[in-house]
Structure 1
Amino acid sequence: MQRLKVVHLVDDTTAGGVMRVLDHILTAPALSRDADHELRVVDRRAGLADAVRADVIVSHLAISWRLMPMLLSLRARHPRTPLMHVEHSYTQGFLAANVTYRRRFAVLLRSAFGLFNRIIAVSHAQARWLTQSGAVPAKKLTVIQSCVDLSTFRAVPPADGPVKVLGAIGRLDRQKGFDTLIQAFRQVKSADLALHIYGEGAEEARLRHLALGDPRIRFMGFASDPVRAMAAVDAVAMPSVWEAYGLVAIEALAAGRPLLVNAVDGLLDHVALGAVAVRDGAVDDWSGAVATLMAHGNTSGPTRAGHETDLEEVFATRWQDLLSAIRQGA
């Protein structure tokens, strides 16, 4: 059987979830059995200098009106090559929090997605929104939940006993909802509990101001070693305003850390693996969830994600099935 050459296009190589998932695709042995995966960085301003030589082209590009000329050129230059797009960003929560002109946004999504043979959603929740909103026909949509190598997180010693350190890990950005978490944490009057926030970003000054006067809240800086950061906390909170999937969630569960998530977008996918959803996401709701977590401790923590369900294997199988279907012309 001839090996497929799969070229993945990306226009933002900033360290983050997209690049970590791409690194996993490029290096996972299971994904290289029948295909050769390559990465090509695209200049948003210059576009594609020449045609992409590949059996399958996979876009990880950030869809926008400015990108449309490039996408039209990509389709025109490769009329017979299967084009796929992985949607890493847009969700129902993103729409609610960021989009003023919703009809215009809907036209953008339908126009851009219409240029691809297949759209890949990174969570089941995102897929439901994409189909229900009319952005993508169900027959054109595949769900492949994002993944990275979780083996080092599974090797982290379990956090038994009471929750003393609650961790928040991610960019200090409005999206992550750390402002809500800080306000909620300050309502929990316990000297035995600490909140450690790992990350950097534009919201840091504002978040530090919200935390002012509470010595239990510490800003730990960028987590250059996410495994070490996970090992240093007893539980993890993800109060994101929107989140297509959330790699921190599967890492926390793989490490056996209790996980609180906002009941939004792809974070809901993690409930089946043991995460606890904070249903309304308001400050008082998060305060109650943190207090409950403290009361119950880690003695009956979640099953480590990947012990009963090998998420990396599921990820590889979904990609292999999709590429097999493309090879067969489905």
Structure 2
Amino acid sequence: MPSLIRHRVRRQILFEHHYCAGFERHNVPSTLRFRTMLRLSYAAMEQVVAVSRAQRNWLHAAHLISASRSRVLLSSRTVDDFLALPPPSPAEGRPLTLLAYGRFTPQKGFDRLLRAMRLLPGGGLRLLLVGDGPQKGNLEALASADPRVELLGARKDIPTLLAQVDAVVIPSRWEPWGNVCLEARAAGRPVIVSGIDGLPEQVVASADGSVSAPPDPCGLVVQGESDTALATALENLLSSTDQQRSAWSAAGRDSARSAWSDYTTAWSQLLDELS
């Protein structure tokens, strides 16, 4: 509290890239206490910047911050290395190679992905799982009986890996935005994402940042949090045509092409307004 009071005498901007509806649903035993703490923190800020529309909507619905003191700046990073990759080649009868990467924690939902893979026996899919973290042993055990799954450990050469795969799976349990999805879009890789927080709006985001309706998405959104729902999305990807995946690839890349410049421009505008 003393720290918050000291902050109140300055003009502070909070970039809220952590808390969201999914985080609250999976981690918070006392919603009243949690939201009270956030309201006190946000009250010390001139502006609270949300990284996705879904996160902003949750902030408003939970009455954590007023609309006049909040802003959406769709999160980004530089994606030139990803934009330079060639699009995926046609499958031509070979198994589709999927990539999932990130920290091995419950948030990322890789346990769900491995269980969903088990619900789809056969050789149509191959999965590369990249990362490290406290769930490593559990994930290794889940993957041990499935020869289609390869755990590669922690890697830094993500563009190189993306060049080798057909699609990216993001089975997170919560994700205010999701830079993995942004990277996959820029790489022209179709995505399968959980229908939570900021991920769905990335799948249907058009190049100008507005939300479009199908048929111009860049992949599939999992409806529901069950293993079966994720397996259904994997099955739908498996049954998609080369033409459909090519369309998803092009739409994703188009939607990510100006992400970094749009992000820096939006920050400049906000800082000019507050100066």
TM, length-normalised to structure 1: 0.74
Tell me, yes or no, if structure 1 residue 177 matches structure 2 residue 124: no
Q: Which residue of 2 aligns with 1:253?
A: 185
The answer to whether the 8 Å contact 2:97/2:166 transfers is yes
Bigger Cα Rg: 1
Return 298-307 or 186-195, whichever deviates more.
298-307
Instruction: Supply the AA of the counterpart residue of 2:65.
Output: V
Query: What are the superposed Cα offsets for residues 58-110 of structure 1, whole Å, 9 maximum, x if unpaired?
Result: xxxxxxxxxx44333333xxx2x421001111000100100001100010010
Is the aligned partner of 1:110 residue 2:39?
yes
Instruction: Specify the SS of the correspondent of 2:254.
Output: coil
Q: Secondary structure at the match of 1:209?
A: helix
> How far does residue 297 in structure 1 lie from its aligned partner after superposition?
4.5
Matching residue within 289, 307, 311 for 2:254? 307
Q: 1:238 aligns with which of 157, 164, 170?
A: 170
Gaps of 5+ in 1: 1-67
Distance 1:112 1:182, change over 3 A: same
1:147 to 76, 84, 90: 76
Trace 1:1-330 onto structure 2 (pairs within 5 A): 68-75=1-8, 79=9, 81-162=10-91, 164-273=96-205, 274-301=218-245, 302=248, 303-305=250-252, 307=254, 310-327=258-275
C-alpha distance in 2 between matches for 1:186 and 1:227? 27
Cα offsets for 1:178-231 (capped at 9, x unmatched): 111100011112224211101000001011111221111111111211211211
Query: In 1, Cα distance between the equivalents of 2:90 and 2:28?
Result: 43
How many residues align? The count is: 256
Q: For 2:66, give the aligned amino acid.
A: P
Distance change in 2, residues 1:234/1:95 (3 Å): same
AA in 1 matched with 2:232: G
More moved, 186-195 vs 136-145: 186-195
Secondary structure of the residue aligned to 2:87 is coil
**3-state SS in 2 of match to 1:245:** coil
- Deviation track 1:14-38 (CA, whole Å, cap 9, x = no partner) reads xxxxxxxxxxxxxxxxxxxxxxxxx
- Inter-partner Cα distance in structure 1 for 2:57 and 2:185: 24
How many percent of aligned residue pairs carry the same amino acid? 32
Distance across 2 between alignment mates of 1:166 and 1:306: 18
Tell whether the 8 Å contact from 1:242 to 1:264 is kept in structure 2 after alignment.
Answer: yes
* Contact 1:183–1:283 under 8 Å retained in 2: yes
Once the 2 structures are TM-superposed, how far is the Cα of residue 284 of structure 1 from its aligned partner? Answer: 0.8
d(CA) in 2 for partners of 1:140 and 1:275? 33
Q: Distance in 2 between matches of 1:100 and 1:254?
A: 37
Answer yes or no: is the 8 Å Cα contact 2:189–2:252 preserved in 1. Answer: no
